[in-house]
Structure 1
Amino acid sequence: MPLYKTLNPNSQTCVKIWKITESYDDLLKPLDLKPNSLERVLGMKSELHQRGFLSVRHLLRDFGYTDQDLFYDDNGKPHLKDEKYISITHSFTFSGVIISDKPIGIDIEMQRDKIGIIAKKFVDYEFNYLKKDSKDYIRKLTVIWGIKESLYKLFATPGMLFKEHFLVIPFALKDEKTIAWIDYNDKKYRYNTAFLEFEGFTCAYVIP
């Protein structure tokens, strides 16, 4: 079982990352999926997405849960029946799950040059400290996207915009952490964030 990494950012929170090396059949075989989960996975056109979906269920098993313990609300946010908080992500050959006693969010992204093309869609304040000619520019953009995606998953409020409502404080890649803010409807929320890089991917997560 390719459990790739386990992190414990605090005593109430655990992050698990899976490297997806198995075939679709090998991932599906040991799982007991709910009928609607099976319907979802069979309806996916991409085997990569199918394997990502199934690998998340393997991560749940590693936490001691099953697919039956997981459900989604009307905004598509995942929840656990025991009322612990959960956030889920998968990107190409990696998936990740974070579980905590408090609201959290997680995102994994492949580091790709094309993020530079769409930077203006999700970056505003952060341009004050980003340097486009830096060799770290794409990696830092990927961290910022991952943190903002994690914030969005945590808050799960329609109408929030990455560019306008989320701010990521200046950081160095070697620090593997920074602070982020949500500024929305005249209220400000402060979050601790962390990130790590591996095999051309970035994983970011947010904890209050």
Structure 2
Amino acid sequence: MPLHKVVYLQPNTKLYLWKISEDYNTLFREVRLKDSSLARLEGMKSESHQKGFLAVRMILQHLEYTDFDLLYDEFGKPHLKPQGCSIKDLELSISHSHDFSAIVISEQKVGLDLEQLKDKTLKIAPRFMDISHLENLSTEDKIKKATVIWGIKESIFKLKNEIGISFSDHISETAFTFDDKITTATLKFNNKEENFKIRFDQEEDYIFVCAFEAVK
């Protein structure tokens, strides 16, 4: 299907969501892959992961990029190859969960996480967050908030891309309600404190979270 939705997160930052309704063969026929990407695709054991991988390339093609414009650094972080006379290098982050693939493209560093709402997130919440932040909420709202908090930590982890960051020990979020759609978070790691702006929202039964470095 065509691109599902574009979300304008802030100036010069857009989130692109692709709802995966196609079968594997349809997606595979629609994209051109460089040899390294084809090898990655063939090495994936899950068809869901394969379809998510291909749907990301469908988003790129919608934006007039290709798989050949998507580069990965030595740490596995994705980057877009500069196009034409572009003055600014664009930053991007990628995420996939079940029926959706997503890309956020920005002129500033960004991390993206996309998660399906599920009971399991609430069950494992004590491992990655202060569960007192879920007090006085319905079970449904606890799942939503725990999913947002997981996404905050995952998106910051992806933005920083540093080995050793602990979700529970190093990343904390400012108090928020789900209706806020925005909050802030702090990373305390390697004797340094960094602040981040957070945007989040729900699309069907999925939560997306984007983290941006706070302007000093």
TM-score range, shorter chain: over 0.9
For residues 136 and 206 of structure 2, the distance between their equivalents in structure 1, rounded to whole angstroms, comes to 20
- Counterpart amino acid of 2:127? K
Aligned residues: 206
Q: Structure 1 residue 186: deviation in Å? A: 2.2
SS in 2 for 1:116: helix
For residues 75 and 179 of structure 1, the distance between their equivalents in structure 2, rounded to whole angstroms, comes to 26
CA contact (8 A) 1:2 1:21 kept: no
Aligned position for 2:161? 156
Aligned position for 2:90? 84
- Counterpart amino acid of 1:91? S
Q: Structure 1 residue 100: deviation in Å? A: 1.0
Q: Of the candidates 194, 198, 204, which is equivalent to residue 199 of structure 2?
A: 194
For residues 118 and 76 of structure 1, the distance between their equivalents in structure 2, rounded to whole angstroms, comes to 27
Gaps of 5+ in 1: none
For residues 56 and 157 of structure 1, the distance between their equivalents in structure 2, rounded to whole angstroms, comes to 24
The alignment status of 1:129 with 2:171, answered yes or no, reads no
The alignment status of 1:115 with 2:121, answered yes or no, reads yes
The alignment status of 1:60 with 2:60, answered yes or no, reads yes
- Counterpart amino acid of 1:202? I
**What is the aligned-residue identity percentage?**
42
Which range moved further: 157-166 or 181-190? 181-190
Q: Structure 1 residue 184: deviation in Å? A: 1.3
Matches within 5 A, 1:1-208: 1-82=1-82, 83-124=89-130, 127-131=131-135, 134-135=138-139, 136-208=141-213
SS in 2 for 1:145: helix
For residues 34 and 97 of structure 2, the distance between their equivalents in structure 1, rounded to whole angstroms, comes to 23
Which range moved further: 104-113 or 5-14? 5-14
Q: TM-score, normalised by structure 2?
A: 0.90
Deviations 1:126-175 (A, max 9, x none): x3432175331111000000111100000000111111111111111111
SS in 2 for 1:6: strand
Q: Structure 1 residue 63: deviation in Å? A: 2.3
SS in 1 for 2:147: helix
Q: Structure 1 residue 25: deviation in Å? A: 1.0
CA contact (8 A) 1:31 1:57 kept: yes
CA contact (8 A) 1:2 1:20 kept: no
- Counterpart amino acid of 2:56? V
CA-atom RMSD in angstroms:
1.4
Which range moved further: 36-45 or 14-23? 36-45
For residues 164 and 150 of structure 2, the distance between their equivalents in structure 1, rounded to whole angstroms, comes to 17
For residues 124 and 25 of structure 2, the distance between their equivalents in structure 1, rounded to whole angstroms, comes to 36
